[in-house]
Amino acid sequence: MISYQSAAAAMLAFSAACLFQPATPVRAAELTEEQVEEGQRFVVNNAIFILFHEAGHMLVSEFGLPVLGREEDAVDALSSVLLLGAEDEELYTTMQDSADGWFLLDEAKEDGPQEDDFMGTHGLDRQRAYSIVCMMTGANAEFFKEFADSLEFPEERRQECAFEYQKARDSWMSLLAANMKDGAKTKFEVTYEPAGNEDLQGFADLLKEANVLETIATVFGEGYDLKDGIKLTGKTCGTENAFWYAGDREITYCYEMAAFHAGLIANWFENQEEEETSDDAVAEDDSGDETEEQADVSTVKLKKKD
């Protein structure tokens, strides 16, 4: 049984670190208690997905699995297949939060993707988000219908995704089958290092209370023919990231990554409030004079230049 959902103690404010200045200027976002809870769940769920992704690298490396195409895409598919394959509603939420995480990350980049992003090892954030959505709707079109509808994810694409999900699942399962062993148990070394600063310590505590590393130890500790002693470490790294180090046999999740996801969701909450406030203002203005001609942005035409 996966117990990462065990709720963490209420933190009344999130710390949000900037993307390239980890843990330096920290701002507290004023959120409602409900938003804090939702935000914590978002942070934990994104950590789970990312840890499954790193565990994917671990399996490829430990078993010497062949990877056709980009490994980053392949292990995103693997984490999706494993999380969705459990057919568990809590894990479905993990997937949804994770897709939202990549969408928010994409939106946070005001100038859009740069050359470096195109040259990088990963797909673009928005592509990663849609790939995850594809796996989600491919695995359970009915459960994720509302979510896919909200993204206007095309019906035709959803049908292709059903096949893509099956293909990804069958390919991974046949590759892994040779490395599964009935009754096999692997011992992992789980460590949450002290964060070294108060702001990040809050996230270290959140991850620890939610048992994120233990979840990985449980899921990958049963049935896989892995040697004991793989380390699962939470720590302050000086960068917002997570890693698999093959030489050290260690998965590292950086607390800065959790702080970064908290910043994404806190911004989203704040932007939503701003939008609501400006909507109210418009409504009030209009209510005074109903006959007044209203500027309707939806009727603006894009006129071709002569």
Q: Binding mask 116-155 vs Zn ion (x if CB under 5 A, - otherwise)?
A: ----------------------------------------
Q: How far is the CB of 20 from Zn ion (least distance, A)?
A: 19
Q: How far is the CB of 75 from Zn ion (least distance, A)?
A: 6
Q: Binding mask 62-101 vs Zn ion (x if CB under 5 A, - otherwise)?
A: ----------x-----------------------------
Q: How far is the CB of 74 from Zn ion (least distance, A)?
A: 9
| Closest to Zn ion by CB, 8 or 168 | 168
| Closest to Zn ion by CB, 199 or 240 | 240
Q: How far is the CB of 132 from Zn ion (least distance, A)?
A: 14
| Closest to Zn ion by CB, 95 or 195 | 95
| Closest to Zn ion by CB, 5 or 241 | 241
Spatial contact of 216 and 52, defined as CB atoms under 8 Å apart: yes
Q: Which residue is nearest to Zn ion (CB)?
A: 72
| Closest to Zn ion by CB, 38 or 72 | 72
194, two tokens: 């002290």
Which of positions 4-33 make contact with Zn ion (CB under 5 A)? none
Q: How far is the CB of 213 from Zn ion (least distance, A)?
A: 17
Instruction: Please count the residues of this chain forming the interface with Zn ion, following the rule CB under 5 A.
Output: 1
| Sign of the torsion angle spanned by Cα atoms 147, 149, 151, 157 | positive
Backbone torsions φ then ψ of 245, nearest 5 degrees: -105, 110
Which of positions 254-293 make contact with Zn ion (CB under 5 A)? none
Q: How far is the CB of 53 from Zn ion (least distance, A)?
A: 6
Q: How far is the CB of 68 from Zn ion (least distance, A)?
A: 16
| Closest to Zn ion by CB, 72 or 90 | 72
Closest by CA to 282, choosing from 270, 269, 297, is: 297
| Closest to Zn ion by CB, 128 or 158 | 128
181, two tokens: 């062993």
Query: For the purposes of burial, counting CB atoms within 10 Å of the CB of 107, is it exposed (0-12), middle (13-18) or buried (19 or more)?
Result: middle
Question: Alpha-carbon distance 178 to 125, whole Å?
Answer: 32
Q: Residue numbers of the site for Zn ion (CB under 5 A)?
A: 72
